[in-house]
Amino acid sequence: MIQLKNGRILLTVHLYKTPEGSLLSKGSLWSYYSDDNGRTWKSGVEVANPDKYLTQEPGVVELKNGDIQMYIRSDIGFLCASISKDQGVTWGPVVKSDIKSPVAPASVKRIPSTGDLLMVWNNNDGDDPAIKGKRTPLTIAISKDEGKIWGYIKNIEINPDGWYCYTAICFCGKDVLLGYCAGDRTKGNGLSVTQIAKMSIRSIYR
């Protein structure tokens, strides 16, 4: 959930199941928005998925030109994406991005002090059989061009048995706090351990 520059609150969701249906692995993507500080909500249009990618756990960030970028967990070895040009009412079709990822979500937020985008995700292209499909390593990167190119790529967690995901990003002055699941697959506690990491924003740019 984010609040846009014009005050609109935008919430993106994926629908796995209705009361009448069975649980599906491929979620349908939607957005809901409120223009009165959350008192009432309207539903956006379902995001078109012409290539039938598995889509789950969408997140959003507002771009400088006013477009809304949706980033989407998928099972094709890459994150997927969609763009809204009307503040989340309608969305362009789901497309494959060039960001390699297992079936795991990403988090993206704008750095207030620089205006650049910060992404946290599992930079795992599957080339290493030991970690193929696993939520490790946990990686950060910065984009200076609204998500077209990502640089300053750094791993902040590298345990091959780690299970890193669902990162909350909070900027505090000159620092950034990252809160994320940080379990260990050998211990079977993937989602039950939380790690809080503090980093200076300057260190990310080195």
Over the stretch 92-130, which tens digit does the pLDDT of each residue have?
A: 999 999 999 999 999 999 999 999 999 999 999 999 999
- Residue 26 has a pLDDT of 83
Terminal Cα distance for the chain, rounded: 30
CB 74 within 8 A of CB 161: no
User: How far apart, in whole angstroms, are the C-alpha atoms of residue 20 and residue 93?
Assistant: 27
| Residue 68 near residue 10, CB atoms below 8 Å | yes
Higher pLDDT residue, 198 or 190? Answer: 198
> Quick one: DSSP state of residue 53?
-
Cα-based angle 86, 91, 97 (whole degrees, multiple of 5): 120
Q: Where are the domains of the chain?
A: 1-100, 103-206
Residue 70: pLDDT over 90 = yes
The secondary structure element, H or E, covering residue 43 is strand 42-43
What's the length of the chain? 206
pLDDT of res. 169: 98
Do residues 57 and 29 make contact, with C-beta atoms less than 8 angstroms apart? no
Closest CA to 180 of 169, 171, 188, 119: 169
Count CB neighbours of 47 within 10 A. Answer: 23
Q: Phi and psi for 160 in degrees, rounded to 5?
A: -65, -20
The dihedral sign for the CA sequence 147, 26, 133, 76:
negative
Residue 141 has pLDDT above 80, yes or no: yes
pLDDT digits (tens, 9 = 90+) for 21-69: 877 778 899 999 999 999 999 999 999 999 999 999 999 999 999 999 9
- Spatial CB neighbours of 155, under 8 Å, sequence gap ≥ 6: 123, 137, 138, 139
Question: Going by DSSP bridges, is the β-strand pair 151-157/194-200 parallel, antiparallel, or unpaired?
Answer: unpaired
Distance CA 123, CA 140 (A): 9
